[in-house]
Amino acid sequence: MKLLRHPLSLSQIANYSFWFMLASSIFGGALLLALLFRHEHINDAHQVTKAAYESLFVLKYETERLLTTSELQSQKELLFEAARQFDSRFKPLTARPHPNIKEWSGFAHIITEEIQKIRIVLQAPLFDPRSMMEKSLLRRLGEGLVSEPHTENYVQIRDLTNAIAYLKQYEDFLLDELRALEQHEQNQHATQLEHIKFWLLVLILSAISTLIALAFSLSKGIKKIEINLLGTQEELRSALFELEQKQKKLEDQRNLLDHMAHHDALTGIPNRLLFLEKLRTLLEITRRTGEQLAVWFLDLDRFKEINDSFGHNIGDMVLQEVAHRLTDAAGNASVARLGGDEFALIVENIRDRTDAEAVITRFMSSLQHPLFVEHHEIYITCSAGASLFPQEAQSAEALLRNADSAMYHAKDEGKNTYAFYNQEMTRRAYERVTMESALRKALKNEEFVLHYQPQINMLTNKIVGFEALVRWQHSELGLVSPAKFIPIAEETGLIIDIGAWVLETACRTLMQWRSEGLEVGYMAVNISAKQLLHGQLEYAIPDFLKRIGYPKNALELELTESMIMRNPDYARKIFTRLRTEGIKIAIDDFGTGYSSLAYLKHLPIDTLKIDQSFVRPLPQSHSDGQIVRSIIHLCQGLGLGIIAEGVETEQQSHFLHQHGCTHAQGYLYAKPLDAAGAKSILSALKQ
């Protein structure tokens, strides 16, 4: 990240300014000192000159006074004192570096000489105190008599007067000098003042300009810092914003992931994970409050067939719609999709089973209305099982397991219903789980056997064919009914292998019987929904028959009505192909599904098998009689073969025959028999 960016840092500016100020101050100070020193020097010269002048003046004065005073002795002393003073004061003047030094020295010498002369004069008797009168006279004479007579005293007075005149001259000279010095001093003062003013001005200006430069640089620096700070602030703000955005995105992603981890991607409702979490929490709460709750396990009936016949896309849409209806029906109950076509519910705060039932019956009634998916009208049902807390289990897992067992019980009860858990169900559920692995082993160990049940022509009372019915020869359980294991084989997909085995065994048996000269018209083999959809029957069966050299028109495939009607177009395509290969098609358990007569008309089929549920109540049940008669008429109208299954009594046989049914199958004629039993019947008939 870019932070403060400016050419000169604040500390650098301060540093440079300090050094500049210091240099200016030193320079200015030195300059001022020099000026002051010079001023002192001039001042000193002036003082010395002044002192010299004063002492010369005093000397002259004291000398003059000699001529007028009566106190001659004391005046002499004063004069000598003045002369000494003059010496001492005049000396520094000559010692100074003055341009007129030589002149000064000359003056000093002359003055000293003059003083000496005065001293000599003063030794004269004239200046004796006793001749004061004379002296005063002489002075006057001296004043009056300038040239003659040249008396000794006169000469002395004249010399003295001359000396005084000399002194006066020098005094004047000194005075002039003093004035000149004063003038010079004044000029120097003025110049110095000018210089000082000038340098002070320069100093002030430089200080001001330095300050201005400093202030400017500072303000510029501050501005830059400000701009940089603003920029940095902006950058920080945008970085913060970006960070916030990223944080938000991450939060969203985390929420999404969390949602995805806890919700089913297809339906959007909670998944098994969230369901169990919620159930555990609710169990904790319910344990404390002492209330009850119910867990429902729901499984759609025959959903695999929907998937297989309509494709997975439609299957997915069906699941979505089911989830939607379940959520609507659930109200306050918690919904979840556990996987595949399995759903679950938690109904909290229930008083008894009735409260738990209310939710599931609401959902089941909502499924009574068809689902419209991509122009298809699909009917679907579900089976459900419930387990109650705290009566039946304590943990979430156990509750769900129990509800699952109860759901299987509901399936066993014929589907489209619900059941509440009891302990017996656990045993059954366990059986179911073990069944699958047992079935795999059974296939490997060839534990399956086929029984054959004759199909009779009611006119001739002769066996026209056999229906092959599979059984499981279990080492411990004995002969296990297909009703017990076929649904599991369907669910697990094992039915494909079992079905193939059945077809091959049945066909080979018929060929075997025929090869032994026994008359058997055809073999009927049951085909499951899974085989129809995944077995590629239209190719696999004809290929197989050709391979083993199976006789033409001696195979009939039985498919249940409901299985066909789930996807009649697909069924028609397959049946058409099979029939061109001489394979006959029979609709098994006819009347139990919801056949559309319009479809039936176009289906390439050969025979309808009236379901035993209509045959059993005959001839007493009027309604069943009516249904059976209608089916017979339908077959006659469509030119289809007809066979009634589950015929157990003569009355049933009579009724059927009387109303035009041509073929029958049931215990009345023969129960399903093992291969040996069936063969012996055939052999008996032959004789």
CA distance 140 to 586: 194
- In the list 167, 338, 502, 545, the residue contacting ligand C2E (rule: CB under 6 A) is 502
Q: Which amino acid is at 343?
A: F
Comparison of 269 and 656: residue with beta carbon closer to Mg ion: 656
Q: Is 589 near ligand C2E (CB under 6 A)?
A: yes
Minimal distance, residue 342 CB to Mg ion, in Å:
29
- In the list 458, 584, 672, 675, the residue contacting ligand C2E (rule: CB under 6 A) is 672
CA distance 391 to 335: 22
Q: How many CB atoms lie within 10 A of CB 640?
A: 18
Say which residue the tokens 């016949």 belong to: 309
Minimal distance, residue 455 CB to ligand C2E, in Å:
10
Comparison of 153 and 526: residue with beta carbon closer to ligand C2E: 526
# of chain residues touching Mg ion (CB under 5 A): 4
Q: Is 558 near ligand C2E (CB under 6 A)?
A: yes
Identify whether the C-beta of residue 344 lies closer than 8 Å to the C-beta of residue 290.
Answer: no
Q: Is 645 near ligand C2E (CB under 6 A)?
A: yes
Tokens of 611: 């379901």
Beta-strand runs (E) in 416-485: 418-420, 448-457, 462-474, 478-480
The pair phi, psi for residue 331, each rounded to 5°, is 60, -120
Span interacting with ligand C2E, options 263-271, 380-388, 525-533, 548-556, rule CB under 6 A: 525-533
Closest CA to 367 of 325, 335, 332: 325
Q: Is 667 near ligand C2E (CB under 6 A)?
A: yes
CA dihedral sign of residues 462, 465, 466, 467 = negative
Minimal distance, residue 537 CB to ligand C2E, in Å:
12
Q: Is 588 near Mg ion (CB under 5 A)?
A: yes
Minimal distance, residue 422 CB to Mg ion, in Å:
31
Q: Is 333 near ligand C2E (CB under 6 A)?
A: no
Task: Give residue 106's Cα distance to chain centre.
Answer: 109
Q: Is 122 near ligand C2E (CB under 6 A)?
A: no
Comparison of 297 and 590: residue with beta carbon closer to ligand C2E: 590
Q: Which residue is nearest to Mg ion (CB)?
A: 558
Q: Is 241 near ligand C2E (CB under 6 A)?
A: no
CA distance 648 to 668: 4
Q: Is 561 near Mg ion (CB under 5 A)?
A: no
Residues 6+ apart with CB under 8 A from 31: 195, 199
Minimal distance, residue 449 CB to Mg ion, in Å:
17
State yes or no: cis peptide before 149, omega within 30 of 0: yes
Identify whether the C-beta of residue 466 lies closer than 8 Å to the C-beta of residue 678.
Answer: yes
Identify whether the C-beta of residue 396 lies closer than 8 Å to the C-beta of residue 283.
Answer: yes
Comparison of 357 and 558: residue with beta carbon closer to ligand C2E: 558
Q: Is 558 near Mg ion (CB under 5 A)?
A: yes
The pair phi, psi for residue 642, each rounded to 5°, is -135, 140
Cα–Cα–Cα angle for 482, 487, 489, rounded to 5 degrees = 85
Comparison of 270 and 666: residue with beta carbon closer to ligand C2E: 666
Footprint (CB under 6 A) of ligand C2E, residues 45-104: none
Comparison of 107 and 522: residue with beta carbon closer to ligand C2E: 522
Comparison of 396 and 527: residue with beta carbon closer to ligand C2E: 527
Span interacting with ligand C2E, options 15-23, 184-192, 394-402, 640-648, rule CB under 6 A: 640-648
Q: Is 535 near ligand C2E (CB under 6 A)?
A: no
Closest CA to 100 of 55, 57, 43, 48: 48
Tokens of 455: 């199909």
Q: Is 482 near ligand C2E (CB under 6 A)?
A: yes
- In the list 13, 42, 121, 486, the residue contacting ligand C2E (rule: CB under 6 A) is 486
CA distance 506 to 526: 11
Closest CA to 153 of 124, 132, 123, 130: 124
Q: Is 588 near ligand C2E (CB under 6 A)?
A: yes
Q: Is 469 near ligand C2E (CB under 6 A)?
A: yes
Comparison of 202 and 449: residue with beta carbon closer to ligand C2E: 449
- In the list 589, 590, 595, 607, the residue contacting Mg ion (rule: CB under 5 A) is 589
- In the list 153, 387, 526, 567, the residue contacting ligand C2E (rule: CB under 6 A) is 526
Comparison of 502 and 545: residue with beta carbon closer to ligand C2E: 502
Minimal distance, residue 393 CB to ligand C2E, in Å:
34
Minimal distance, residue 612 CB to Mg ion, in Å:
7
Identify whether the C-beta of residue 89 lies closer than 8 Å to the C-beta of residue 207.
Answer: no
Closest CA to 646 of 626, 618, 621, 622: 618
Span interacting with ligand C2E, options 3-11, 121-129, 170-178, 639-647, rule CB under 6 A: 639-647
Q: Is 477 helix (H, G, I), strand (E, B) or coil?
A: coil
- CA-to-CA separations, 655 to 6, 194, 231, 464, 588, in angstroms, rounded: 113, 154, 102, 20, 20
Comparison of 308 and 558: residue with beta carbon closer to Mg ion: 558
- In the list 286, 292, 528, 662, the residue contacting ligand C2E (rule: CB under 6 A) is 528
CA max distance for the chain? 226
Q: Is 526 near Mg ion (CB under 5 A)?
A: yes
Q: State the distance between the two ends of the chain, measured CA to CA, in whole angstroms.
A: 108
Tokens of 232: 């940095």
Q: Which residues bind ligand C2E (CB under 6 A)?
A: 453, 468-470, 481-483, 486, 499, 502, 526-528, 558, 588-589, 612, 645-648, 665-667, 672
Q: Which residues bind Mg ion (CB under 5 A)?
A: 526, 558, 588-589
